[in-house]
């Protein structure tokens, strides 16, 4: 719970949590102002609300988020209410019955989002505002989603689909390039491994 406070959170993982109401992983309420970078929000559960994140009367900007497999409540990964303001940049939303619900007069801005396994991507109330740019659909091919490993496989639709948002490294500290991947992790596919060769020293006195 983040209530009436400012926060900057980086390189965090929220998995396997459960809550009775609001957000299964995160609840940002009452004038919170937050920035989240390289965040994994997966396999959380709520009885009433959003399986992943509930934003109420707050302003939140999320960069490079993986939102996947959260359940319960209305089936959504994220809910925005109470005149909340949310911006999602370079995001993966996967395996959610409902990706994002925007209620009341709240607003959401979505830039470069990959949807997968989300029969309903976004629902918005009559007074709500939703703007989307460069959204796409496709399989993220997570390494092992069943065990909350959301690294990207070689055929992932998230590869090179992001915009340069000034995030220079991923959740593991691995560098991002000018065409970053979506989600919390940058793919290692096609990268050259580091080779460490043994040092062989020969004495000048050897014959």
CB–CB of 91/61 below 8 Å? no
Percent of the chain with pLDDT over 70: 89
Q: Does residue 161 have a pLDDT over 60?
A: yes
- The pair of three-digit structure tokens given for residue 99, joined into one six-digit string: 């990706």
Two tokens, residue 69: 């497999």
Q: What is the pLDDT of residue 190?
A: 58
Geometric angle at alpha carbon 55, from 53 and 58, rounded to 5°:
145
Q: Among 101, 99, 100, 107, which residue's Cα sits nearest to residue 130? A: 107
Mean per-residue pLDDT over the chain, rounded: 90
Residues facing residue 123 across a β-bridge? 101
Closest CA to 26 of 10, 57, 3: 3
Query: What is the mean predicted confidence (pLDDT) over 84-95?
Result: 98
> pLDDT at position 5, please?
67
3-state DSSP call for residue 115? Answer: strand
Residue 207 has pLDDT above 70, yes or no: no
Question: 């983040």: which residue's tokens?
Answer: 2
Higher pLDDT, 149 or 30: 149
């Amino acid at each position: 719970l983040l209530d009436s406070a400012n926060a900057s959170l980086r390189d965090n993982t929220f998995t396997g949590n459960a809550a009775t109401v609001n957000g299964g992983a995160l609840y940002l309420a009452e004038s919170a102002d937050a920035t989240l970078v390289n965040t994994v929000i997966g396999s959380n559960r709520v009885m009433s609300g959003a399986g992943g994140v509930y934003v109420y009367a707050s302003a939140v900007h999320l960069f490079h988020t993986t939102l996947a497999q959260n359940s319960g409540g209305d089936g959504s990964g994220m809910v925005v209410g109470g005149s909340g303001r949310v911006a999602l940049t370079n995001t993966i939303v996967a395996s959610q019955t409902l990706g994002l619900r925007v209620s009341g007069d709240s607003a959401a801005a979505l830039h470069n989002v990959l949807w997968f396994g989300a029969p309903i991507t976004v629902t918005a109330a009559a007074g709500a505002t939703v703007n989307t740019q460069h959204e796409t659909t496709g399989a993220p091919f997570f390494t092992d989603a069943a065990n909350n490993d959301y690294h990207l496989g070689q055929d992932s639709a998230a590869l090179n689909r992001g915009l340069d948002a000034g995030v220079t490294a991923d959740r593991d500290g691995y560098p991002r390039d000018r065409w970053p991947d979506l989600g919390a992790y940058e793919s290692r596919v096609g990268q050259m491994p580091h080779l460490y060769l043994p040092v062989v020293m020969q004495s000048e006195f050897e014959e």
